[in-house]
């Protein structure tokens, strides 16, 4: 699913960096971005084992060049004033793409007292406009029982509704859980959405958009 399918023009892009200062911003020089990601030994291994994946990774990082870009998750997600500064900087004004770990789309309680409560789930606290979270099925399958489900219980937060969405290239390339509160999900996907279970592995996979 891309922005053209949703009828949305992305204006802002933020990515996680837990060890940068308040005034730090992502690299804007495209040559520097290419050099950073293509010169690493791991990058060469990825290119050899998974042809095309490195190009996709570089393409995502290039969003910092063409969009209003920022970092999120400073100081290991302990910066409680970060969202407000980002709002003032315009990072949430209009349509935004925010790249965070799955813990910040699927968990609604924190592990550590030092973490910002509004980082779980982050997409429900960032801006005034409604947000949709997209989480890879592979991550849910591998980590739910240990890293997600124990932090989804006994919460008063309104439940999400979701649907499994396949990549244009098919399920082998990627299947994703698209989820958000019911009203926006139903507006986009209609009646195929289902309530997302507190136990993620219980979510039915019979509907694929």
In the predicted model, is pLDDT for residue 47 greater than 70? Answer: no
Work out the average pLDDT over 172-192: 86
Q: How far apart are CA 162 and CA 205, in angstroms?
A: 10
Tokens of 165: 């969405």
Q: How far apart are CA 130 and CA 49, in angstroms?
A: 38
Global pTM reads 0.80
169 or 144, which is more confident: 144
What local confidence, expressed as pLDDT, does residue 83 receive?
Answer: 93
Confidence of residue 22 (pLDDT cuts 50, 70, 90): very high
Confidence of residue 5 (pLDDT cuts 50, 70, 90): very low
| CA Rg value for the chain | 18
């Amino acid at each position: 699913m891309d922005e053209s399918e949703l009828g949305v023009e992305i204006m802002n892009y933020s990515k996680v960096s837990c060890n940068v200062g308040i005034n730090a911003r992502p690299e804007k020089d495209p040559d520097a971005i290419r050099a950073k990601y293509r010169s690493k030994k791991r990058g060469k291994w990825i290119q050899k084992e998974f042809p095309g994946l490195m190009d996709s990774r570089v393409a995502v990082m290039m969003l910092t060049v063409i969009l209003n870009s920022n970092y999120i998750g400073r100081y290991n997600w302990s910066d409680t004033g970060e969202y407000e500064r980002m709002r003032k900087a315009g990072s949430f004004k209009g349509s935004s793409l925010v790249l965070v770990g799955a813990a910040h789309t699927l968990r609604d309680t924190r592990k550590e007292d030092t973490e910002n409560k509004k980082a779980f789930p982050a997409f429900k606290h960032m801006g005034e406009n409604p947000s949709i979270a997209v989480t890879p099925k592979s991550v849910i399958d591998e980590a739910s029982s240990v890293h997600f489900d124990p932090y989804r219980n006994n919460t008063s937060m309104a439940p999400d509704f979701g649907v499994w969405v396949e990549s244009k290239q098919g399920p082998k390339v990627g299947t994703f859980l698209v989820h958000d509160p019911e009203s926006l999900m139903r507006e986009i996907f209609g009646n195929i959405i289902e309530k997302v279970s507190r136990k993620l592995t219980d979510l039915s996979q019979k509907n694929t958009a």
